[in-house]
A = this chain, B = another copy of it.
Amino acid sequence: MTYDLWYWPGIPGRGEFVRLALEVGKIPYRDRAREEGAEALMADMKARGTVYAPPYLVAGDLCIAQTASILLFLGDRHGVAAEGEKDRLFVHQVQLTIADMVAEAHDVHHPVAASRYYEDQKPEAARRAEEFRAKRMPKYLSYFERLLAAGGAGVLGARWSYADLSLFQLVEGLTYAFPRRMATLGKDIPLTLALRDRVRTLPELADYLAGDRRLPFNEQGIFRHYPELDGD
């Protein structure tokens, strides 16, 4: 079965966490809104009625929204996760914590109104960025580092899971948005950076990461590089 992935075209965003799992598992999918545009996405979403926001994955008569839920589904069906209740739940829990940090990374540049431009909320963004750099980044990143210290090569130890791919994407996004802060914090998270490097060089992802289907980060997405929001 070829799945349909629907996500805003033009940004990696939350869709990229799903794409990485599809790509690493060589799971056939069509990236519908990149083929047909944002209006087709909005029309499809409206017709379905059950989706609050992209990304969502259509698999036959299943329509699954929420990034972590899509990954749970793909993990179960295609083995890009764990076997057994304990590991399944643990990978999902880590994924939800990654999702929490992704949402916070977005709100750094949109602390008061998702519906308005960054330029309309720059003073508030500056305050939120200070908190994010000083408190939230160390708290989240040291948590992931502790998991890897306990587990090994990945979140589950030697076995790969979709949470490893998501952690790679999170670190890439943070490094794009906050290069100075990540240069400082990097000293304290060697295992997390090593995981990032391992995913970056996975043979299964080589074609995808080198090709033009892999969307670069930009200032329309979740991870945005505004130098005034970064700092050592």
Given contacts A66-B96, A92-B69, contact A131 B114 (CB under 8 A): yes
A131-174 vs B, CB cutoff 8 Å, 1 = contact: the mask equals 10001100010010011001000000000000000000000000
Given contacts A49-B146, A92-B69, contact A127 B124 (CB under 8 A): yes
Max count, chain B CB within 10 A of own CB: residue among A72, A85, A93: A93
Least Cβ–Cβ distance between A80 and chain B, in angstroms: 16
Contact between chains at B131 and A115 (CB < 8 Å):
yes
Q: Who on chain B is nearest to A99 by CB? A: B96
Chain B neighbourhood of A140, CB < 8 A: 52
Interface of A is mostly: helix
Contact between chains at A65 and B52 (CB < 8 Å):
no
Least Cβ–Cβ distance between A189 and chain B, in angstroms: 15
Q: Who on chain B is nearest to A147 by CB? A: B50
In the docked arrangement, what's the CA distance between A143 and B116, Å?
21
Task: Tell which of B66, B112, B114, B116 touches A93, judged by Cβ atoms closer than 8 Å.
Answer: B66
Least Cβ–Cβ distance between A48 and chain B, in angstroms: 10
Which residues of A line the B interface, CB within 8 A?
A: 49-50, 52-53, 61-62, 64-66, 68-69, 72-73, 85-86, 89-90, 92-93, 96-97, 100, 103, 107, 111-116, 121, 124, 127-128, 130-131, 135-136, 140, 143, 146-147, 150
Q: List 18 A-B contacts (CB under 8 A).
A: A50-B147, A50-B150, A52-B100, A62-B85, A66-B93, A68-B68, A69-B92, A69-B93, A73-B89, A107-B107, A111-B111, A112-B128, A113-B127, A113-B135, A114-B131, A114-B135, A115-B131, A124-B127
Which 3 pairs from chain A and chain B are nearest by CB? Answer: A113-B131, A66-B96, A112-B127
